[in-house]
Structure 1
Amino acid sequence: MVSYLAALAVIALALSVLMAGAWVVQQRTGNSGWVDTIWTFSVGLVGAASSLWPLENTSPNARQWLVAALVAVWSLRLGMHIAVRTAGISDDPRYAAFATEWGLAAPRRMFVFLQNQALGSVPLVFAIFVAAHFPQTGLRLQDYLGAIILALGIAGEALADSQLKQFRETPGHQGQVCDAGLWRWSRHPNYFFEWLGWLAYPVIALSPHYAWGWASLLAPAFMYWILVYVTGIPPLEAQMLRSRGERYRDYQSRTSIFFPLPPR
């Protein structure tokens, strides 16, 4: 009990410090896109480290190494993708809209916003921790199934990102709305597959004999709420309506907002 609470406290402190660093980078560069890059690497770093956190002075077992590897691969893939995208822009339009709304209070409000983001990331990393520390040393079918789910999430998100990049780089598509490939079935397939990947940790952690495992459900629940209702879809769709207008409204009318479904 004490070890789990101690790990929870360390996770929260580490994320707070790292997101304070993200605020410094954002203030000095003026490019808010680095915030998401640093957040992704921070969750990956703290998640992998917490997976290998020793309990009862024992060495990390196969499950701990598996979970650490899974979160590391996720973090590196997504973090590098966001970093490349950020290097090619002057600022992230979502955060730029917040800065305009906040006015002179923008630096202070951004710091508070990022600390709230750090706090909100605690359930995600704690889900990784409890999955890694399932009280059984040998790998089970659940562990392999969780790894497959996360692999599907990573692959699906990478495919969606690639299709969007290819669409944007095709001559004549400037100002158009991407509705090819996965984007024909969902307006935000990258977000869907990101959420799907977080289901891996409950699959690994849930068991009637492991009370802490239920905490892993917070990860997909919180990620769904963030993506669908807070910092994911709402500001992005508002920005797309400003830049694409009726073209995007037409896309909205026939395409599922999140879960991939046949277009209407």
Structure 2
Amino acid sequence: MSYVLEAAWQWFWSSSTLTRLAVVDFQVQWGLWAVASLMKTEKFYDLAGSATYILLAYLNYKWNGTGHPRQSIQTGCITIWAFRLGMFLFTRVMKSGHDRRFKEALQQPSLLWVFWTLQGIWVLVTLLPSLLVVLSPRQRPIGTRDYVGWGIWTMGFLVEVVADYQKTAFRNNPANKDKFINSGLWSLSRHPNYFGEVLLWFGLYISASSTFSGWEYLTILCPLMDYLLITKISGIPMLETYGIKKWGSSPQYQAYIKNTPALVPFIGSVST
């Protein structure tokens, strides 16, 4: 047994950084899946996802960082975003007592495993451009592309924070019980929090691309996949279905759907 463990450890450290990070990622997801399955709980799912972002970004910087400002800022942006979002989502699920996404999965360990595995994939995919910028030996001086990318990240981060705050404040007001929010940023987009998230990941791709060459530019597919997942699979479609089921008979909600863009403010209404 000790020989097997030693061989596995040597393989781990001889592997590429991305392989090692993938191993850590899925060890976390599958280990916590086992705990969640036994406890039949989804309450630490989002918190675990955010913690994995921070862990992988930290390990990548620890193993490969040279102290260049670009590496530090890129890693810092990820850490700030993940910590804020993780704590927000964990606080929300603890207050509500459940997450309706997992209603069926909690009764089916195999389906719950799919959720945790998809989270592991999502973490790696969205992180890839930022992992590559830390790995890159081509650390040029900070330039316009870096500032543009970090500026877009800042805008997206602030939009997400403000949107989450506005919706939380709306829900905490007893007068708004069973009502939908259509004020503040939510009057400009039906899902401004998701708009902010999509924006910040595209920003991090732009800043990371200042070190890219060749195939690395293809990691534009990473924020694109994040956008597609949010708009076509797990984010907006699920919430839109829930909203129509709950308020679909309301003329006010129908008008909101018709006149308010699904994601990008001021750019048409996108029905889902």
| TM-score strictly above 0.5 | yes
- CA shift for structure 1 position 34: 2.1
Contact 1:22 1:39 in 2 (8 A): no
Which residue is equivalent to 2:227? 224
Contact 1:226 1:232 in 2 (8 A): yes
Alpha-carbon distance in 1 for matches of 2:259, 2:66: 53
Which residue is equivalent to 2:29? 19
Greater CA deviation, 146-155 or 131-140? 131-140
Which residue is equivalent to 1:261? 266
Which residue is equivalent to 1:34? 44
- CA shift for structure 1 position 23: 1.8
Q: 1:202 aligns with which of 190, 202, 205?
A: 205
Stretches of structure 2 that go unaligned for 5 or more consecutive residues are: 1-12
Letter in 1 for 2:26: S
Letter in 1 for 2:263: F
- What is the correspondence of 1:1-264 to structure 2 with a 5 Å cutoff? 6-54=16-64, 59-96=66-103, 98-99=104-105, 106-134=108-136, 135-206=138-209, 210-247=213-250, 248-261=253-266
**Structure ID, larger Rg:** 2
Alpha-carbon distance in 2 for matches of 1:208, 1:78: 28
Letter in 1 for 2:76: A
Scaled by the length of structure 1, the TM-score of the pair is 0.85
- CA shift for structure 1 position 75: 0.8
Letter in 2 for 1:118: G
SS of the equivalent of 1:202 reads helix
What root-mean-square deviation, in Å, do the aligned CA atoms of Structure 1 and Structure 2 show? 2.5
- CA shift for structure 1 position 133: 3.7
Q: How many residues align?
A: 253
- CA shift for structure 1 position 25: 4.4
Contact 1:49 1:68 in 2 (8 A): no
C-alpha spacing 1:262/1:214, structure 2 compared with 1 (3 Å): closer
Letter in 2 for 1:7: T
Contact 2:153 2:201 in 1 (8 A): yes
Scaled by the length of structure 2, the TM-score of the pair is 0.83
Contact 2:68 2:139 in 1 (8 A): no
C-alpha spacing 1:132/1:204, structure 2 compared with 1 (3 Å): farther
